[in-house]
Amino acid sequence: MRYYKVNLEQTSIRELNQQLHTLQEHDSCWQINHPNGGHNIAVGLRQAAQIEIYGSVGYYCGGLNQHADLTIYGHAGAGVAENILSGSVRIHGNVAQYAAASGQGGLVVIDGDASARCGIAMKGVDIVVKGSVGYMSAFMAQQGHLVIGGDADEGLGESLYDAVIFIAGHAEGLGQGCVELPMDEARLSTLQQLLARAEFALPASRFRCYGPLRHRLNPTPIMAEMQDMA
């Protein structure tokens, strides 16, 4: 594995991203210092690199990530890990609004709190927030899982499709079409795996499960039925 060290007080974000996009190695480790709240850091990565950012970042850090494992030792601005495809993005701090919006896969872990619309329109990403989330989180969430260790503001799961929400704290108000589901063995197993992957020590027994009303009326999600028919 090759190691790289970049100081963003000396190298521009554009230059950094160009270096990351032209990686030839299938695995490398990058230490990025002094991000100073800069926007669009490490976007569109397609290699299995390990990226460590020491400091807080601005908008859209880690967006469109594919294969890379990105860790931010600080806070993150709006749209962190937007449209993530695979790999992981971990934030050792708080994040602003619409974290992991439209995420299609991979894992996003937030050690602190997430602002409004966390996981909006998620399409398969798994998100673990160890703190609380803002209003209308998981709005129009199609697939994937949102795990919340703290509380949720009003509108949680508004217009939910097939995604599932696990929450340990209090939900101020559920969105239309979002209802509590029984914590059956399959859902409990999924939650335990997500907690382990996120290195979150909170017991699974503390969580309640929420999802779309049709999951309570029909245990087989519509998306699974469609896949079986394909």
Q: What is the per-residue pLDDT for 24?
A: 72
**What is the model's pLDDT at position 108?**
98
Mean pLDDT computed over 143-171: 97
- If you average pLDDT over residues 10-39, what whole number do you get? 93
Q: Which pTM does this prediction carry? A: 0.93
Q: How confident is the model at residue 223 (pLDDT cuts 50, 70, 90)?
A: very low
The average pLDDT across 46-58 equals 96
Domains and CATH numbers, the chain: 2-229 (2.160.20.60)
Decide: 107 and 198 in contact? Cβ < 8 Å.
yes
When the pLDDT of each residue in the chain is averaged and rounded to a whole number, the result is 93
> What pLDDT does 219 receive?
61
Report whether 15 contacts 35 (CB < 8 A): no
Position 10 pLDDT exceeds 50: yes
Percent of the chain residues past pLDDT 90, beyond the cut: 88
Q: Render pLDDT for 57-88 as a digit per residue (tens, 0 to 9).
A: 999 999 999 999 999 999 999 999 999 999 99
Alpha helices in 58-112 (DSSP H): none
Torsion angle in degrees (nearest 10) through CA of 49, 53, 56, 59:
-20
Per-residue buried b or exposed e for 45-61, using 16+ beta carbons within 10 Å of the residue's own CB: bbbbbbbbbebbbbbbb
* Percent with pLDDT over 70 in the chain: 94
Cα gap 138→116, rounded to integer Å: 10
Q: What is the mean pLDDT of residues 187-210?
A: 98
Q: Is pLDDT above 60 for 225?
A: no
Both tokens assigned to 217: 């009326």
pLDDT for the residue numbered 222: 43
pLDDT for 220 equals: 52
Looking at the predicted structure, is the pLDDT value of residue 228 above 50?
no
* pLDDT at position 230: 36
- Whether residue 224 is predicted with pLDDT greater than 90 in this model: the reply is no
